[in-house]
């Protein structure tokens, strides 16, 4: 398998080339391929608490996700929201999304997390202890499920 090193940065650490590369990937997949007609640049990327995770290759960003922080819990005790999970078409099937989700959980798994999964991708997140709640709903023209992952507390010896 090609290199799957994960890069993690906040807004203030990003270079313009890095930003361009992952925004291009998100636009190519969400707008061109999936024809989503909702706002992509929602100002959440530039929040100081947002963490960007991605995997680069010689063609740019191969896979990406971001983790947002909301002061008020959006469901139960979840303040962290995993989103914008995307893999470039030529790299799908290699497990890159799993690598990124594992990395995000490694960083924030001690906190409850929430995500809005495209319905057909929900089994990927279930592998990481995300549980669906509520009914299937349409967001951006695509069926989604809300999913919650409880905080994992360290066991004391």
**Residue 88: domain span:** 6-110
Angle at 55 between CA 51 and CA 58, to 5 degrees: 140
Structural domain contains residue 32: yes
pTM over 0.85, yes/no: yes
Give the burial class of 34: count Cβ atoms within 10 A of its Cβ; 0-12 exposed, 13-18 middle, 19 or more buried.
middle
Give tens-digit pLDDT for 6-37: 999 999 999 999 999 998 998 888 776 766 66
pLDDT at 37: 63
pLDDT of 111-139, one tens digit each? 999 999 989 999 999 999 999 999 999 98
Section 50-75 average pLDDT? 92
Among 153, 92, 152, which residue's Cα sits nearest to residue 124? 92
> 131-139 and 142-149 as β-strands: parallel, antiparallel, unpaired?
antiparallel
Helix, strand, coil percentages, rounded to 5, for the chain:
30, 35, 35
In a domain, residue 157? The reply is no
The total of structural domains in the chain comes to: 1
Q: Could you tell me if residue 81 is inside a domain?
A: yes
CA–CA dist 77, 111 (Å, integer) = 8
pLDDT average, residue stretch 32-59: 82
Q: Which of 48, 54, 104, 64 is nearest to 80 (CA)?
A: 104
Confidence of residue 1 (pLDDT cuts 50, 70, 90): very low
The CATH number of the domain holding residue 37 is 3.40.630.30
Q: What is the pLDDT of residue 2?
A: 55
Torsion of CA 95, 76, 67, 151, to 10 degrees: -60
* Average pLDDT in the chain: 88
């Amino acid at each position: 398998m090609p290199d799957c090193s994960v890069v993690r940065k906040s807004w203030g650490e990003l270079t313009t080339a890095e930003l361009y590369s992952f925004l291009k990937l998100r636009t190519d997949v969400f707008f061109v391929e999936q024809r989503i007609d909702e706002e992509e640049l929602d100002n959440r990327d530039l929040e100081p608490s947002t963490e960007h995770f991605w995997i680069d290759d010689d063609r740019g960003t191969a896979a990406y996700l971001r983790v947002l922080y909301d002061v008020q819990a959006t469901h139960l005790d979840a303040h962290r929201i995993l989103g914008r999970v995307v893999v470039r078409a030529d790299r799908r099937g290699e497990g890159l999304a799993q690598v990124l989700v594992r990395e995000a959980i490694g960083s924030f798994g001690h906190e409850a997390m929430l995500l809005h999964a495209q319905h057909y991708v929900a089994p990927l997140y279930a592998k990481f202890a995300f549980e669906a709640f509520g009914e299937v709903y349409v967001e951006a023209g695509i069926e989604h499920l809300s999913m919650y992952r409880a905080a994992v507390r360290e066991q004391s010896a």
